Structure 1
Amino acid sequence: MSDPDGVLAAEQRHLDRARAELTRMREHTLSLVPDGGDALADEALAHALHRRAAGLLDDPSTTLFFGRTDHDDGQRHHIGRRHVTDAAGDPVVLDWRADVARGFYRATRDDRGGVRLRRRFGVEEGRLTAYEDEHLVERDDSGVEESGVSAILAREIERPRSGPMRDIVATIQPEQDALVRADAQTTVCVQGAPGTGKTAVGLHRAAWLLYAHRERLTRQGVLVIGPNRAFLSHISAVLPALGEVEVEQRTVTELVTVAAEGRKEVRVRGEEPAAVATLKGDERMAEVVRRAVWAAVGDPAQVLEGGALVLTRGTRRWRVPGYLVRDLLDELTTRGIRYEAARALLPQRLAHAVLQLFEAAGDSPDDVVQDAVARSAEVRAAVKALVPAQDAAKVLWRLLSDREFLERSSRDLLTGAERELLLWPRPPRTAGTARWTEADGALLDEISDQLQRTRSRAHVVLDEAQDLSAMQLRAVGRRCSTGAATVLGDIAQGTTPWSARSWDDVLVHLGKPDGDLEVLDRGFRVPSAVIDYAARLLPRIAPDLGVPTSVREDPGHLDVVRVGDPLARAAAVAAELLGEEGSVGVVVAAGSVDAAAAALTAAGTGFSRLDALAEGEVQQRVSLVPAGLVKGLEFDRVVVVEPADVVDAEPDERTGLRRLYVCLTRAVTAMVVLHARDLPAELR
């Protein structure tokens, strides 16, 4: 771009200055040495300084700011990924999350909010290459079309990308910004069509919350939950690029199986029919396992010698009748506390009952005496018999092994046929030898929470929420019981037998029935040729949803080709596409991955196999992706191989067509569909 007025050169000098100031800020942070005389405080401060230094790392491949706003009061703000100040503390770059930066994303000619001019910058390899001014006070012809479309913005959105997902701070749209900055106490549920940026909204919302409510969110933690490790790897660079380096990321399975907060490690090794997994994920199972846990509470008449608590103190024996013990148990077990809390409270309740006997006999016992009674051998033995210690795995093992116990726990909840479905055909001898499944993981988490309360985070971002069962959603909801959540998904992309039919159901299972439902239907990443083709499936798979629209000027490219050998042709097409800029995804049904890998190898094309990608392995430009792992990912060019095989690999046709819809909406620039078999009727 020519620069006759020297505007671009002046802005580049400001960028160079900002980089120098950022380096100064980081060096100053690294020079600080904790020395408060308190080892614990010093350790905490050192950790905070390390975290801050990590957040001040500069990425020379990008720019510290991407826009500028000029205001009616004469102020001028450069908007960037993080806050940069000079030595006097004056801002050089304003963090995009600051309230005053809101105008960069939302100001219009009709509602300027004091913004006179909005400037966007084109960037290549960390240097400014172009700028574009939008005057909000009067009309102009400086690069923004009458429709309001920014040429620089359009180029940035459509730019080919390789590797992990990047942040979208330079391209956030007004409707996205409103969701990002929603009130911290509000649970936001986003129904987003493919390419509408719902995942980016969730991640940027986490970054904004950490900026606006740093102390509380850092103390309690922010949790991002995704469908699989490939997805989490794809989004892993976004938050660090925004300066947030300590956000926990988990899959749902990891969430309920990794040892934490008193829970033991659970190894998921087993598989089971979809009908069994669906039943285990049913919301009724929450009450079944609750009954199973509390069934361990003993009847004083049966578990206490003589049916009462008898305590010897000196030469006297004191007796608390069984009916009083029963009343104490009922008071604890009906007040909604956890099982372990009841075990902890019962000794003091029993001791208090004994002290009432002391007082009736004329004694005046104090708290020391009560504590001694609570710790006595008789009380400890009574508590052990009345409320025995339990292990989540043993409870579930008994529930799935013992027909009578299952019947007692599920009476009036499950049918006889459903109980038969749940019972193991060949029960393992012990809980330790059980081959737990993913659905079991959610049940074990439910039991663990009945035993001991699960720690809540300040905020949870849940992506692809439509695929979770009621029990999995309850597990997520426990992690934000005292906070809020950002719930992301697309009902049309539900590909599990238990996938949600409505967002109202999802929010209820999460424990957030009052959450705000918002809809994103403007596609920024998927071109119209691709989304229009995939949308042919919507009347069949999600008739209640509107058809998404692509707002990109470039319609993209679509080829649907019938060939004799789709896998061999896919390998050849992938090799050809490497001549273009950006990433290539080869998407195949799960049963064809090995054959596709062989075809790519035979063609001499290097590729990464996403179902076997090692931790830290550099992903190549060509990715071989099983259909079951492609959700949430995007590639510049996509080759979809044999759609009929993708459909047939699922338990039923509707789920298969939803899986195919996901596969057909992953392309940013172009898509090639290769098939030898007939396409589904909706696509012919």
Structure 2
Amino acid sequence: MPLTTPGTPHDSLFELSGRAAAKATPALLGPDPDRLAEVVARVRSRRSQLHHEIETLRRAPGGLGRGALDRDQSIHRLTRQLGVLERFGPDIVLGRMSFSDGREPVYVGRLGLSDDHDRRLLVDWRAPAAEPFFAATSADPMGLSSRRRYQWVDGRVRDYWDEILDADSATAGAALDDQSSFIASLGSARTPQMRDVLATIAADQDAVIRARSRGALVVEGGPGTGKTVVALHRAAYLLYADPRLDGRAGAVLLVGPHAGYLNYVAGVLPSLGEDGVRAATLAEMVPQGRDAVPEPDRRVAALKSAAAMVGAVDPAVGLYEEAPTGRTVVETPWVDLDLDPEDWAEAFDAPAPSTPHNEARDQIWEALVEILVDKVDPQQAPVELVRRALLDNEELRRLFSRTWPVLDPAQTVADLWSVPAYLRRCAPWLSQAEVAALQRPESRPWTDADLPLLDAARRRIGDPAAAGRRRRREKVMAEQRRYMDDVVDYVLASDDNPDSSLSMLRGEDLRDALMDPDAVEEPDRDPLAGPFAHVIVDEAQELTDAQWQMLMRRCPSLSFTIVGDRAQARSGFEGSWRDRLTGLGFSDVTTRTLRVNYRTPAEVMAEAAPVILAQVPDAVVPSSIRRGGAPLVHGRIEDLDAVLDRWLADHPDGTACVIAAETDGVSGVRGVERPRVQVLSPTTVKGLEFDLVVIVEPLGTEQGRALAVDRYVSMTRTTGQLVILTR
């Protein structure tokens, strides 16, 4: 964002025209022009400082260990600050707080900013001192007399709004209006990515954003209440305020309902100066998720989605971890050794209980060899030679590989679906008919209902190639160590100076420091495997028990922000959110409800509310604060092209969406795609918003609750016009 050029009058940052022109008087602007000019100058100088500091750190020696880590973290922190300053420039300022006691106004920004003399110019929006800017109300002004918010466009203030919070305070210097301009700004044209809304966060949303991170916080609210806004800004707030998350890249996981949602919100967290959040869909957490298809059979989907079915993975793997019950004689050139069931059981107990199956193999093998070596009488056979013979004993290795084989996670789950006897053994609660329903040919693609089981199998079994990589690494490092020892011994033998510093090479620590730990390439760590310190789930009402287990495994502390609306759950669930979550294993559950709809015009909500209340009488339908939306329009599918063409011609900005059925409906209207127009289904439109929504009915063959939810979700995506066309 370009700053004002040197010599430009600083009040040119305010370009107030039209209705806002009356607010351009010095009496109303008050100290704003001077403060914003200071911010502009400081942003410019801070950019230069950051560039210099980053370059200096990059040129400095990398160092080793903790020093290298601290250097990298400093570069990352400074680069993140620079990114925010370069992205926003002067519009880093959100607004100001004026106080009833006459104190100097406090200005709130995206980042904290001080001048060269440590005088505070801006307070970071996440700091406790900035909380009244978002949380103060006329009922609880929190010491404020008024609050001012700026509307920035292309680096200039095009409008601002003052809210009087303390009726007993003087209103001089406040641009009074009924906030209609502010409310109207909430309905401004949408873009393909979520717009910046930090300056317009409301008190009810801010209270949720700043809530404690311990336990599970459920944020329930109907359409347009800002649940997604809360989820994203809460992620940025926690990274700033929670000591558990401080400095931990990837400490927070954001889970969205579909890829379109993640694309839509992708720019929000970077605009808040945070890049330590991992964002993903559930499908992206499993390698097979990329090609998974929807489960076509509802009964099969329900069976696979139960928590008990995920529990079948452990006995499925355990079948390959049963100690032999017979006795074996292991031959060596010096002595024959007995390997009995107790020996196998002792070796199998060597790994920690949580060690994945494949990664436990090396530990068990080493334990087994040591058990046999302990049986050697040193008086009858050379112990070390026997150990080497056992390690090279191909027959013993083959026996061990049959007893504790390398497993493939996907193949293990595939075996459950293709071998009825195997499935009955691992899931004895299933009826014969259910076992038969779950059978699938191995050539059939994986479905979304398979993913939680594949994820559980992957964690229980581990990487099939892990053991081989570990052995290769140990071999390379051993060769390095032998070579380094030879070099050091030669250097020391050649040095005849008793005061030489080369004597330091005799130390083990220095020799270890000379080793190259990167000589063996390590596989990239799965960034979505966790563990995470906090998980935020949007559209959480749709998650199955099995999917919840996927997420709970990634956050052992069960520190969650759970965002959803039971009324928008196609299948629904019994009881409250607390009932649902405690049944899954959460113990500390707090619920907050958002009841104000900032997105959908009241005229549209009047049509949408009866749709959901007819099927879900206890639905929390939010109250809209915006009016003036165009009335609902009905028509025929033949009108679709004309509706879109007319809207695009009348609206040079903004986005539109045609919502059709999940399968044939979407493909049937594909030809209408135009710039600024998307074609989506009721499932893939969740979490998104558009200026125009056109619903093509019928929305599929669903009936009852599922159909009502699809219609309710679709109708409430609009910020302006809603059109319903029938086939």
Same fold per TM (> 0.5)?
yes
8 A Cα contact 1:346 1:383, kept in partner = no
1:201: which partner in 2? 230
Spell out the pairing of 1:364-403 with structure 2 (5 A cutoff).
377=393, 383-403=400-420
1:617: which partner in 2? none
2:96: which partner in 1? 67
Q: Distance in 1 between matches of 2:425 and 2:173?
A: 72
Pick which of 464-473 and 450-459 moved more: 450-459
May I ask how many residue pairs the two structures share in their alignment? 627
Cα 1:144/1:44, change in 2 over 3 Å: closer
Q: Tell me, what secondary structure is at the counterpart of 2:88?
A: coil
1:474 is the counterpart of 2:549 = yes
Residue 666 of structure 1, CA deviation: 0.9
Q: Distance in 2 between matches of 1:7 and 1:177?
A: 27
Q: Tell me, what secondary structure is at the counterpart of 2:606?
A: helix
1:669 is the counterpart of 2:720 = yes
1:640 is the counterpart of 2:710 = no
Q: Distance in 2 between matches of 1:517 and 1:251?
A: 24
Cα 1:145/1:158, change in 2 over 3 Å: farther
Q: Which amino acid aligns with 2:689?
A: E
Q: Which of 217, 225, 243 is the equivalent residue of 2:273? A: 243
1:592: which partner in 2? 665
1:610: which partner in 2? none
Q: Distance in 1 between matches of 2:711 and 2:438?
A: 31
Residue 555 of structure 1, CA deviation: 5.1
Q: Tell me, what secondary structure is at the counterpart of 1:630?
A: coil
Spell out the pairing of 1:207-606 with structure 2 (5 A cutoff).
207-213=236-242, 216=246, 218-257=248-287, 267-268=291-292, 272-301=296-325, 307-308=326-327, 310=329, 315-326=334-345, 329=348, 331=349, 335=353, 337-340=355-358, 342-347=360-365, 349-350=367-368, 353-354=371-372, 357=375, 377=393, 383-411=400-428, 413-424=429-440, 427-428=441-442, 434-452=444-462, 454-482=529-557, 484-495=559-570, 502-504=576-578, 506-508=580-582, 511-550=585-624, 552-554=625-627, 556-561=629-634, 563=635, 566-578=636-648, 579-580=650-651, 582-590=654-662, 591-598=664-671, 600=672, 606=674
Q: Distance in 2 between matches of 1:669 and 1:315?
A: 88
8 A Cα contact 1:469 1:499, kept in partner = no
1:100 is the counterpart of 2:129 = yes
Q: Tell me, what secondary structure is at the counterpart of 1:22?
A: helix
Residue 477 of structure 1, CA deviation: 1.9
Residue 393 of structure 1, CA deviation: 0.9
Cα 1:370/1:352, change in 2 over 3 Å: farther
**Quick check: which has more Rg, 1 or 2?**
2
TM, length-normalised to structure 1: 0.82
Q: Distance in 2 between matches of 1:357 and 1:114?
A: 80
Cα 1:370/1:209, change in 2 over 3 Å: farther
Cα 1:345/1:357, change in 2 over 3 Å: same
Q: Tell me, what secondary structure is at the counterpart of 1:218?
A: coil
Residue 12 of structure 1, CA deviation: 3.2
8 A Cα contact 1:466 1:489, kept in partner = yes
Q: Tell me, what secondary structure is at the counterpart of 2:666?
A: helix
1:138: which partner in 2? 168
Q: Distance in 2 between matches of 1:402 and 1:635?
A: 48
Q: Distance in 2 between matches of 1:423 and 1:135?
A: 65
Q: Distance in 2 between matches of 1:11 and 1:477?
A: 48
Residue 206 of structure 1, CA deviation: 0.3
1:29 is the counterpart of 2:29 = no
Cα 1:15/1:279, change in 2 over 3 Å: same
Q: Distance in 1 between matches of 2:25 and 2:725?
A: 51
Residue 660 of structure 1, CA deviation: 1.0
Q: Distance in 2 between matches of 1:145 and 1:15?
A: 18
8 A Cα contact 2:253 2:536, kept in partner = yes
Residue 362 of structure 1, CA deviation: 9.5
Unaligned runs of 5+ in 1: 259-264, 302-306, 608-619, 677-684
Unaligned runs of 5+ in 2: 1-20, 464-528
1:615: which partner in 2? none
Cα 1:270/1:11, change in 2 over 3 Å: closer
* 1:287-319 CA-partner distances (Å, limit 9, x unpaired): 112211211113412xxxxx2465567733333
Residue 661 of structure 1, CA deviation: 1.1
Q: Which amino acid aligns with 1:444?
A: L
Residue 195 of structure 1, CA deviation: 0.7
Cα 1:332/1:69, change in 2 over 3 Å: farther
Pick which of 438-447 and 70-79 moved more: 70-79
Identity of aligned residues (%): 28
Q: Tell me, what secondary structure is at the counterpart of 2:218?
A: strand
Residue 439 of structure 1, CA deviation: 1.6
Spell out the pairing of 1:131-210 with structure 2 (5 A cutoff).
131-136=161-166, 138=168, 150-151=179-180, 153-210=182-239
Q: Which amino acid aligns with 1:596?
A: V
Q: Tell me, what secondary structure is at the counterpart of 1:183?
A: coil
1:616: which partner in 2? none
Cα 1:559/1:270, change in 2 over 3 Å: closer
* 1:342-374 CA-partner distances (Å, limit 9, x unpaired): 435424543564466469x999x99x9999799
Residue 544 of structure 1, CA deviation: 2.9
1:77: which partner in 2? 106
Q: Which amino acid aligns with 1:251?
A: T
Q: Tell me, what secondary structure is at the counterpart of 2:669?
A: helix
Cα 1:488/1:137, change in 2 over 3 Å: same
Q: Distance in 2 between matches of 1:168 and 1:183?
A: 22
Q: Distance in 1 between matches of 2:386 and 2:108?
A: 64
Q: Which amino acid aligns with 2:645?
A: A
* 1:403-430 CA-partner distances (Å, limit 9, x unpaired): 111111111x211111111101xx23xx
Residue 45 of structure 1, CA deviation: 5.0
Q: Which amino acid aligns with 1:476?
A: L
Q: Tell me, what secondary structure is at the counterpart of 2:240?
A: helix
Spell out the pairing of 1:606-617 with structure 2 (5 A cutoff).
606-607=674-675
1:613: which partner in 2? none
Q: Tell me, what secondary structure is at the counterpart of 1:59?
A: helix
Cα 1:460/1:537, change in 2 over 3 Å: same
8 A Cα contact 1:521 1:548, kept in partner = yes
TM, length-normalised to structure 2: 0.77
